[in-house]
């Protein structure tokens, strides 16, 4: 079938992206779903910093590629052997289709699935296919098994979780990455308990979701840190008790003063090794820094080794919120439906069209938006 898609043909172009145009909008060919695959009509796709990191070369992937990994849509066709979904199902995408059989999946850590990670590195589906081809018949690579910047895409059913009928798909789209990663970093990786003090550095979709997660956990106090005043105001609305304006060089001192010596948990959601160092410095003795952002692969993180012993500090990684998507996403949808997780407030710009995508990357780069939504059918 023919479908419209945003194709990244060259990585490393510099902003302003509205001028350098890393994404080209093309009519491409999409094969129907093969065995163990599903055809999905994309209703909404969030623009995540991980998309930008591929486009600007911070996290190189094979090109040409149909970009996009955070989305929700409707199942339109099933390949042979697919029994867990039906046509018409409303679904949210997960960019790690856990196999359920490798050592990591069997050990209860599906986001570390070796099979899915290999497929994502090679920019293909877990079935081995790349279902998109361009007008010249050349294969287009798959982005994290999703490739959501398209009107339609083909995915593994292991990348899909059903969405309740009363959850708008435009809202559900951001659950698969931003919400799962941020809330999961607090509830799964950190296991924050009522009364624990938490600081969140970086207030994009992941960081603000971490603030919501800390509020759900009953953390006190919650300190939110960012460069952008509008994001700090939104963090207060979502449950932060204190906010700190970053970039003035005294963030750690302010946090220590606000919390009586430092926090028990600090979440890094900015994708910066330097910010992770600030998280570590803001901890009280016995505290833990949780790295949830993805920094450039060339960045190194440095701490004074003696503090690991003398202050019993810890640093933990959190990939996709240490989540089990099939377990956690239904729970998060229930919390949203109960008014406990106001995810709607993350959606600061909707109805982005294909022709606006490069300009939307500029807004993502400058940090002026939390979550923008591509709506291919709009």
| DSSP codes, 260-326 | TS-EEEEEE-S--HHHHHHHHHTEEEEEEEEE-S---TT------HHHHHHS--EEEE-SGGG--HH
- CATH class of the domain defined by 179-319: alpha beta
- Percent of the chain exceeding pLDDT 90 equals 96
Q: What is the pLDDT of residues 288-307, one digit of tens each?
A: 999 999 999 999 999 999 99
Backbone angles phi, psi at 26, to 5 degrees: -130, 150
Confidence grade of residue 378 (pLDDT, cut at 50, 70, 90): confident
Q: Kindly give, in sequence order, each residue whose CB lies less than 8 Å from that of residue 65, ignoring residues fewer than 6 positions away.
A: 7, 8, 54, 123, 140, 141, 142, 143, 147
Domain boundaries for CATH 3.90.180.10 within the chain = 2-176+342-374
Q: Which CATH number fits domain 2-176+342-374: 3.40.50.300, 3.40.50.80, 3.60.15.10, 3.90.180.10?
A: 3.90.180.10
Domain boundaries for CATH 3.40.50.720 within the chain = 179-319
**Whole-number pLDDT of residue 377:** 82
Q: What is the DSSP letter of 56?
A: T
Q: What is the pLDDT of residues 123-175, one digit of tens each?
A: 999 999 999 999 999 999 999 999 999 999 999 999 999 999 999 999 999 99
């Amino acid at each position: 079938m023919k479908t419209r898609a945003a194709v990244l043909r060259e990585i490393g172009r510099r902003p302003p992206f509205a001028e350098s145009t890393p994404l080209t909008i093309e009519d491409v060919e999409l094969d129907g779903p093969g065995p163990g695959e599903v055809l999905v009509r994309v209703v909404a796709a969030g623009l995540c910093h991980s998309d930008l990191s591929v486009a600007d070369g911070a996290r190189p992937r094979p090109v040409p590629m149909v970009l996009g990994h955070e989305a929700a849509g409707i199942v339109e066709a099933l390949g042979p052997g697919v029994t867990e979904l039906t046509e018409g199902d409303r679904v949210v995408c997960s960019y790690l289709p856990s196999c359920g059989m490798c050592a990591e999946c069997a050990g209860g850590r599906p986001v570390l699935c070796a099979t899915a990670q290999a497929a994502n590195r090679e920019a293909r589906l877990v079935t081995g296919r790349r279902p998109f081809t361009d007008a010249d018949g050349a294969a287009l690579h798959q982005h994290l098994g999703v490739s959501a910047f398209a009107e339609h895409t083909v995915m593994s059913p292991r990348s899909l979780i059903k969405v309740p009928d009363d959850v708008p798909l435009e809202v559900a789209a951001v659950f698969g990455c931003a919400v799962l990663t941020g809330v999961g970093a607090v509830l799964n990786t950190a296991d924050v308990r009522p009364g624990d003090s938490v600081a969140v550095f970086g207030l994009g979709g992941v960081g603000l979701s971490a603030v919501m997660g800390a509020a759900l956990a009953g953390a006190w106090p919650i300190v939110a840190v960012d460069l952008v005043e509008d994001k700090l105001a939104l963090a207060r609305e979502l449950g932060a008790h204190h906010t700190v304006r970053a970039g003035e060089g005294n963030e750690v001192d302010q946090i220590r003063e606000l919390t009586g010596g430092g926090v028990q948990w600090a979440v890094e959601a900015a994708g910066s090794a330097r910010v992770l160092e600030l998280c570590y410095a803001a901890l009280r003795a016995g505290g833990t820094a949780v790295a949830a952002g993805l920094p450039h692969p060339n960045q190194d993180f440095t701490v004074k080794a003696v503090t690991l012993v003398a202050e019993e500090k810890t640093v933990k990684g959190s990939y996709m919120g240490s989540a089990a998507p099939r377990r956690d996403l239904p729970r998060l949808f229930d919390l949203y439906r109960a008014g406990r997780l106001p995810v709607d407030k993350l959606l600061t710009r909707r109805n982005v069209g294909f022709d606006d995508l490069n300009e939307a990357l500029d807004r993502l780069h400058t940090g002026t938006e939390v979550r923008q939504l591509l709506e291919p059918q709009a």
